[in-house]
């Protein structure tokens, strides 16, 4: 499928000028394994099927993050997408570092290792592996990103 056909423009979060994971996944009820194009790491993504105005912080967090991740290729038959997770975290590197200092028990000095660990952590966050009340914090953090 060509990238020009991906963005469905009815998710309310993307446009023809700015393609993102929301535009790719928004009309599907399926989970997608979204692999990074630089590092061998994956985040499984499924967007909520509720209006964002009625969504909880978990759903809002996922939607907000997906707004900034650019898809590179898609395989609908295998429900896989290659996307630029690395570039997204790298663009917001200082913000991710600040968040890490506050909420993580460890830090990573090497940039590639730091980004790899964040992609893995996003997989856990998207999978619901943190307490429900932490999603408000994650959502507020996501609002600071670009």
Contact 26, 42 (CB under 8 A): no
- Alpha-carbon distance 45 to 66, whole Å? 9
pTM for this predicted structure = 0.84
User: For residue 128, is it left (φ>0), alpha (ψ between -120 and 50) or beta?
Assistant: left
Helix-, strand-, coil-residue percentages of the chain, each rounded to 5:
45, 15, 40
Per-residue pLDDT of the chain (146 residues; tens, 9 = 90+): 333 333 333 445 554 434 778 767 765 667 889 999 999 999 999 877 666 667 899 988 998 999 899 999 888 788 899 999 999 999 999 999 999 999 999 889 899 999 999 999 999 999 999 999 999 999 999 999 99
Strand partners, 73: 82
């Amino acid at each position: 499928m060509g990238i020009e056909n991906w963005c469905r423009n009815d998710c309310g979060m993307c446009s023809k000028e700015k393609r993102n994971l929301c535009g790719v996944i928004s009309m599907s009820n399926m989970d997608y394994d979204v692999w990074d194009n630089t590092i061998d790491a994956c985040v499984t993504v499924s967007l909520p099927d509720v209006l964002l105005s009625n969504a909880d912080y978990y759903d809002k967090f996922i939607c907000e993050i997906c707004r900034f991740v650019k898809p590179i290729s898609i395989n609908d038959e295998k429900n896989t997408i290659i996307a630029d997770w690395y570039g997204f975290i790298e663009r917001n590197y200082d913000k991710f570092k600040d968040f890490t200092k506050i909420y993580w028990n460890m830090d990573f000095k090497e940039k590639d290792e730091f980004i790899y660990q964040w992609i893995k952590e996003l997989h856990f966050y998207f999978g619901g592996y943190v307490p429900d009340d932490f999603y408000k914090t994650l959502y507020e953090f996501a609002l600071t990103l670009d």
